A and B are shown apart, each in its own frame.
Chain A
């Protein structure tokens, strides 16, 4: 073997250092402020802080319970009826909310449940006096369930799909009734994944920013993330922001610690499920109940999406597209999104390559601290939420520069960090498989360095890189958190512009912009989805 030293560990170390600076800088800044006495710290853990922390937890808990409680029967119903008309389409629809920026979904939900929405119009037509008011906890819960019910349903369904077909054959041969099937076959699988799924949803709802910002009803229905934003952006109350940020950090770490004990849900990937064949003939009552459940899910998820499209098309799209600020916002979003995606790919790839290299070198020895750090680095953003990084750097940088001038750098780096856990998970299996296939052959033939990257690794990596890029860019395009903190009149992304138009009650403009934004994100997600399913096919083809 050649003795030339690989650059891979160095690349991995640099990537780690970059992430450490991003998160560490923010944490350091918070620590300095807290130590310097310029903060109320936790000394003033007053009723305001307590109320916000409590609301953050309560809304997350309720959102989680509602989503899971509805998802279990819905997933069962979808699984029990593999031939349900439009089943594949419903599952495809259920993948949509994941791809939809929160802001777009919020507009869709308002178009149904809002003061001037479909529901209000129906009430009026029926002569009812009730005007729905979704601002506050109700709206937050509707929006969170809109996002998480489909997610939970798909995760539970993929668990059910992992039950071998033979089990269903056996169940029908042994004559198990619906309850026995649930107890003996379905529940063991659902229950195994449920704590992980519930934890994931709880985490997503605790760190939910956009939905609470737009649907929350003033100080009574506010979460920590939104309170941090308001303290920095409107009140410029640094002391309060630091207290809030530290509280958010503690909360996240505490929840993650609990989650770590309960395990993660089985990974779902992007691909559409194939239906399992069931060998039972459910009685009519069960059929009707299941049909009703599926219909409810379809309407609940489908209506807001349809609302987005309908009210978006009603807007004057041509005029919107001819407006200079709109064009600039689209361009800014695309440039920042592409940069964030590129950065997250570079960092993820460095982590993946270094990790595999080290794992290969050590052979059967236990993994070194460095190798484990590479794995952990990829999920750093899970521990230190984007708003904490943003707030930390905002507070630190104001000593040296105008924080708002940092907007592009912060948006790109925080969005990149947000995409790393996903990019890492997309790239790692492809890289590891390719490496295990090629390492010995390349060593024997003396293919190394640039030549190996060009001839051997690139062909295997091109597609997963494309998938990860499209995914990361869609994530960044739809993100409002960082740009809301740092955004100003000189730099506006599409979600930021959208938020402004909503704020100034230009509802039609907002609907049009939402359609454009939703369309862009969806396009990227479809590209990612197509690529991912082709990836899965070629990989299984190569193995088979």
Chain B
């Protein structure tokens, strides 16, 4: 397998789902979408609409029943998760509770934790970039919720994969902290140019970063376009119902 290496190897990759079919219980899902390299995509939609399933398909935790999934032009439809050029951050349980911050990040470099000097340098560099310098030897229990997600992002940085998936990664954080994390992700994205796909149930997250919005309902993408347009006053009536009372929040 061709592991990306070097500082610029992680320039974003494009993502394409080509008539991907997937049965989720009784719901037949069907995805067709294209995400440009080095862009930010925000997936929104009611709960149960298939947002997380979409990410799981891209990451390889679910296998498509039909259709093709291409990342950076490569067909990864049947590739196991480790062979996909993808890192993912979950809402929780991103960190192994018995390992300290440095080890948790180090896993992104070597899954058996046999780190050499270059690995160690990369790890401390990533920890510094997410603003956790000095907390290398802390266990996850001694970190706040936001700090834990920062560790997970640092691990994604040392993995150096061209795609980063955020599965409601900041949903359990308060508004201020969530914005802070989004800004961090935005800055890192400018740096690394990785493609970001984030699932969120806060539409305003999509506005905070220059993102393309994909709106899901019943396992299908029913609207997509620049977030600024879709969430503006001229938004399609389709979204109006989902956004509902949140109009005033925007």
Contacts and interface: CB of A to CB of B under 8 A. Distances in A.
Interface of A: 164-167, 169-177, 179-180, 183-185, 188, 279-281
11 contacts: A167-B93, A172-B61, A173-B82, A173-B86, A174-B107, A174-B159, A176-B111, A184-B107, A184-B113, A188-B98, A280-B80
B112 A177 contact: yes
A166 B82 contact: no
Which among A164, A170, A176 has the highest number of chain B CB atoms within 10 Å? A170
A183 B110 CA distance: 14
Contacts of B87: 173
A176 B98 CA distance: 17
A183 to B, nearest CB: 8
A166 B107 contact: no
Contact of A164 (B82, B93, B113, B159): B93
B59 interface: yes
Contacts of B108: 174
Contacts of B88: 169, 173
A188 B95 CA distance: 14
Contacts of A173: 59-60, 81-82, 84, 86-88
Contacts of A170: 94, 107
A180 B81 contact: no
Given A179-B112, A180-B111, A180-B112, A166 B80 contact: no
B96 A185 contact: yes
Interface residues of B: mostly helix, strand, loop or mixed?
Answer: loop
Contact of A166 (B60, B92, B159): B92
Where chain A touches its partner, the secondary structure class is helix
B112 A166 contact: no
Contact of A176 (B92, B93, B112): B112
Contacts of A177: 111-112
A522 B230 CA distance: 63
Contacts of A176: 107, 111-112
A535 B133 CA distance: 48
Interface in B44-99: 59-61, 80-84, 86-88, 90, 92-94, 96, 98-99
Interface in B94-145: 94, 96, 98-99, 107-108, 111-113
Interface of B: 59-61, 80-84, 86-88, 90, 92-94, 96, 98-99, 107-108, 111-113, 159
Contact of A169 (B61, B99, B111): B61
Nearest to B113: A184
A185 B99 CA distance: 10
Contacts of B98: 188
Contacts of A172: 60-61, 80-82
B81 A279 contact: yes
A331 to B, nearest CB: 52
Contacts of B112: 176-177, 179-180, 183-184
Contacts of A179: 112
B61 A174 contact: no
A166 B61 CA distance: 10
Contacts of A279: 60-61, 81
Given A167-B96, A279-B81, A175 B111 contact: yes
Contact of B81 (A165, A169, A184, A185): A169
B218 to A, nearest CB: 24
A255 to B, nearest CB: 28
Contacts of A174: 82, 107-108, 111, 159
A135 to B, nearest CB: 46
Contacts of B83: 175
A175 B84 CA distance: 10
Nearest to A179: B112
Nearest to A171: B111
Given A177-B111, A177-B112, A184 B93 contact: no
Please name the 8 residue pairs, one residue from A and one from B, whose CB atoms are nearest each other, closest first: A175-B82, A166-B93, A164-B93, A176-B111, A180-B112, A172-B81, A174-B111, A173-B81
Contacts of B99: 184
Nearest to B161: A173
A185 B98 CA distance: 9
Contacts of B60: 172-173, 279
B86 A166 contact: no
B80 to A, nearest CB: 6
B188 to A, nearest CB: 19
A177 B113 CA distance: 12
Contacts of A167: 93, 96
A172 B79 CA distance: 11
